Structure 1
Amino acid sequence: MRVLVTGADGFVGTALVARLLRDGITRAGDVSELLLVDRQFGGLRSGAPHGDVRMTELAGDFSRPEILEPLLSKTVDVVFHLASMPGAQAETEPAEGDRVNMWGTLALFERLAKQATEHGRAARVVFASSVAVYGDSLPATMDEHTAARPTISYGTHKLIGELVLADWTRRGKLDGRSLRLPGIVARPERSSGHGSAFMSQIFRMARQGQAYTCPVSPSATAWWMSRGRCIDNLLHAARLSQEGLHAGRVWTPPVLHLSVEEIVDALVRRFGSFELDYAPLDWIERVFGRQPPLIDHRAVEAGFRHDGTIDELVGNALELESVQPRHRPGLA
């Protein structure tokens, strides 16, 4: 099985590559060739094995013909499209955001659809969409019927990608599956351009016992998912049989709906107290701190999962050996 991963050196991509090499998609060893694309390699390479003969790395823009054509000169079976410009960065660099997130994604899908015409086989495409498609005017509760009303360009880009992928799927040229992912925790220090960065910063500062000023209030509520659970859900999407899938081919995987205060309490149980104060920024709280309960029944029925309990989330997010809370004396 030939598998392509865009954004392969990113926070999620690196962990996905490691899992694919270890476990495959449906069974260990079913990935015969793993094609990896990112702007550069090496920055987040921890966790992904080096030197595996199945890997081919190409550094560059995933949408460029000089990258796409060599990669797709032979049929690709499964694609995980993770590459994108983060939302906050796309707002400050709109032309580049459009080029990467919208036009780049459409170019990739079109080239993959051409492969189906040439070889008679549609690639299975797992698209990392985003809860940003919902915008910031959210109802009191949300489910699979909640309308997408993006209020930032990144959300618009992701919604366009979902719709185009579903249309290529309807036409039999691709076999698409889009997952509307929340902020994934806990991203490393060097990650930038994410308005939801505070979600990961809280985890890191608590673990290190360092002071932190949070840009949302203690009562701010958000949707939480660890990187490991995100990988589980991406792989589950790739495994789903085509039979019986709804026409839109979009799911919002289950999340833990928790306040910042609840997260902090769980971190204190695990690591002891740390210095924390709050200086809420209106736009961050509005977009990332007022998220209501979310249950996508189609996603639950399809087998997607959240992290379980808040203490399991802490362990999973920080990739700790044990997810059981333990006390450590308070830190000054």
Structure 2
Amino acid sequence: MRVLVTGAGGFVGTALVERLLREGIAEAGDVSELLLVDRQAGEPPGDARITALAGDFSSSEILEPLLSKPVDVVFHLASMPGSQAEAEPAEGDKVNLWGMLTLFERLAKQATEYGRAARVVYASSVAALGEPLPTSVDEHTAPLPTISYGVHKLVGELILADWTRRRKLDGRSLRLPGIVARPELSAGHGSAFMSQIFRMAQRGQAYTCPVSPSSSVWWMSRRCCVDNLLHAARMPAEGLHSGRVWTPPVLHLSVQEIVDALVRRFGSFSIDFAPVERIEQLFGRQPPLTDGRAIEAGFRHDGAIDELVANALELA
């Protein structure tokens, strides 16, 4: 099985690559070739199955050699973060919209050339829902994105669903929240505070949080995120709903609840709160989320809050 991962050197991508090498898609060892693309030339795991290229995932220099033979599964993770895309709109359009469409279009040619539709797992975002959000979110909540990043993600979802209907691709889109805990503050991620709380508590360092302690947030660890991405790739196509979009379950917790759990694990640490209205508006007023179709399809959250802490920090 040939598997392509864009954004393979990123926070989620590196963990996904490790799992693919270890577990495969349907079973361990079924990934015969793992094709990795990222803008930054990193050090891929030493494995003969890997072909790693550095550059623009949508450029012909990257796509033509990688797709000279058909691929079975694609994980499209590469994107420019929302805050950065707002600050650099032309580059955001290039990466998140035109680049994504170029990749999907090139993959769709495979169905004509080889009679095989590539299975595409697309890392969409809860930004597609927009803000302000309603008092609760479920599978019937209409997406109304209010930033370009969310618009781009929604376009990707719609194209995948339509091209799946036309049997050009076999798409599965996951609307992901901010994933924790990134190792360092990530430029362009408005949700970076979510990870910083974990890291500062683990190190026993002081932290000033840009949202209030009562802020309600959707939480998912990288470990759980990768579980859900792999589950999306493993689901048989038969019986999937026509929209091909799921918002996986999350833990809906206040920042104070997270702080309390971190204190239980690591002891007290110094944290102050200096709310920034825009960040709190985007990431600190999230309502209960229950996507019945996602739950029925087998997607999951981290379990309990202490499991989230362990998963987020990759603790045993």
Match of 2:189 in 1: 194
Match of 1:219 in 2: 214
| Alpha-carbon shift at residue 196 of structure 1 (Å) | 0.2
Match of 2:133 in 1: 138
Q: Does 1:56 align with 2:51?
A: yes
How far apart, in 2, do the equivalents of 1:299 and 1:103 lie? 28
Match of 1:292 in 2: 287
Match of 2:150 in 1: 155
Match of 2:41 in 1: 41
| Alpha-carbon shift at residue 41 of structure 1 (Å) | 2.6
Q: Does 1:261 align with 2:256?
A: yes
Match of 1:17 in 2: 17
| Alpha-carbon shift at residue 191 of structure 1 (Å) | 2.5
Match of 1:280 in 2: 275
Q: Which amino acid aligns with 1:3?
A: V
Q: Which amino acid aligns with 2:179?
A: I
Q: Deviations over 1:209-254 (max 9, x none)?
A: 0000000000101100000000000000001011110000000000
Q: Mind listing any 5+ residue stretches in structure 1 that lack a counterpart?
A: 322-332
Match of 2:27 in 1: 27
| Alpha-carbon shift at residue 188 of structure 1 (Å) | 1.4
How far apart, in 1, do the equivalents of 2:235 and 2:134 lie? 30
SS in 1 for 2:68: coil
Contact 2:185 / 2:192 at 8 angstroms: preserved in 1? no
Q: Does 1:93 align with 2:88?
A: yes
Match of 2:265 in 1: 270
SS in 1 for 2:19: helix
Match of 1:302 in 2: 297
1:243 equivalent among 220, 238, 246: 238
Instruction: Report the number of matched residues.
Output: 316
SS in 1 for 2:308: helix
Q: Which amino acid aligns with 1:30?
A: D
TM-score, structure 2 normalization? 0.99
How far apart, in 1, do the equivalents of 2:67 and 2:270 lie? 51
Q: Does 1:107 align with 2:93?
A: no
Cα RMSD for the two superposed structures: 0.8
Match of 1:178 in 2: 173
| Alpha-carbon shift at residue 40 of structure 1 (Å) | 1.2
How far apart, in 1, do the equivalents of 2:185 and 2:204 lie? 19
Match of 1:6 in 2: 6
How far apart, in 1, do the equivalents of 2:39 and 2:72 lie? 23
2:204 equivalent among 205, 209, 215: 209
How far apart, in 1, do the equivalents of 2:45 and 2:177 lie? 29
SS in 2 for 1:245: coil
How far apart, in 1, do the equivalents of 2:188 and 2:138 lie? 28
How far apart, in 1, do the equivalents of 2:116 and 2:85 lie? 34
Match of 2:163 in 1: 168
Q: Which amino acid aligns with 2:31?
A: V
How far apart, in 2, do the equivalents of 1:118 and 1:134 lie? 36
| Alpha-carbon shift at residue 190 of structure 1 (Å) | 5.2
How far apart, in 2, do the equivalents of 1:79 and 1:191 lie? 25
